[in-house]
Amino acid sequence: TGTYTKLFTSHVHIFLADNMDRHHYETFEKFGNETFLLHLDNGRAFGRHSIDEPSILTPLKQCCRIRRSTLLRLRLLSGVRLSDVLRESLSRDALSAVAPLLSEAHLSALDRRLDTVLKAVDQCLDKRTDAVYDDVEDTGQSRDGKTV
C-alpha cells in the first residue's frame, strides 16, 4: 500500500506541474519493503498553462487511494492558494531578479489543477471509505518522520 500511495502522490505532483514527460520510474526491490521510487525526468514541467492532462490523474481516480499527509497538505495549500505560496518562494530565488521563473498564467494553472485534484479525491471519498491511507501518527508526524 505504501509504495502504491507514493506512486499516486507522485501523479498528483506530476499533474500539478503538467510534467508530461515523467512517465517512467524505477523501484529498487533490493531493499525489501524499504524500496523507493526513482523518477526519470527530462525537465518538461510547466510547459502548458492553458491545457490540463486529466489522464495523469488516472491512477488516483481508478484506485482511489491517497496518503493522508498528502491530502492534508493539498487542503492546506488550497486554503492559502498554492500560486501565492509558490510565487513567494520563487521570489527568493536569485534568478527571479533576471526574469520571472513562472508566468502568472502558470501560477493560476496550479490553483486550477489543485482544485481538480481535490475534486477527484472528494469523488473517491464518496465511493470508498478507505480512500485515505493513514500515514500520519497521532503526534502530527507522518510515518516517514515529516511533520504534517
Strands (E) across 46-93 are located at 66-67
Task: Write out the three cell numbers for 62.
Answer: 481508478
User: Which residue among the candidates 18, 21, 130, 135 is catalytic per the annotation?
Assistant: 21
Residue 130 annotated as lining a ligand binding site: no
DSSP, res 1: -
Q: Are strands 132-133 and 66-67 parallel, antiparallel or unpaired?
A: parallel
Residue with cell 492546506: 76
21 is catalytic: yes
Task: Write out the three cell numbers for 23.
Answer: 512517465
**21 CB-near residues (< 8 Å, 6+ apart):** 41, 42, 43, 44
Residue 26 annotated as lining a ligand binding site: yes
What's the rounded Cα separation, in Å, for the pair 15 and 45? 9
Point out the residues that are catalytic: 21
Binding residues for ATP: 26, 41
Binding residues: 26, 41
Binding residues for Mn(2+): 41
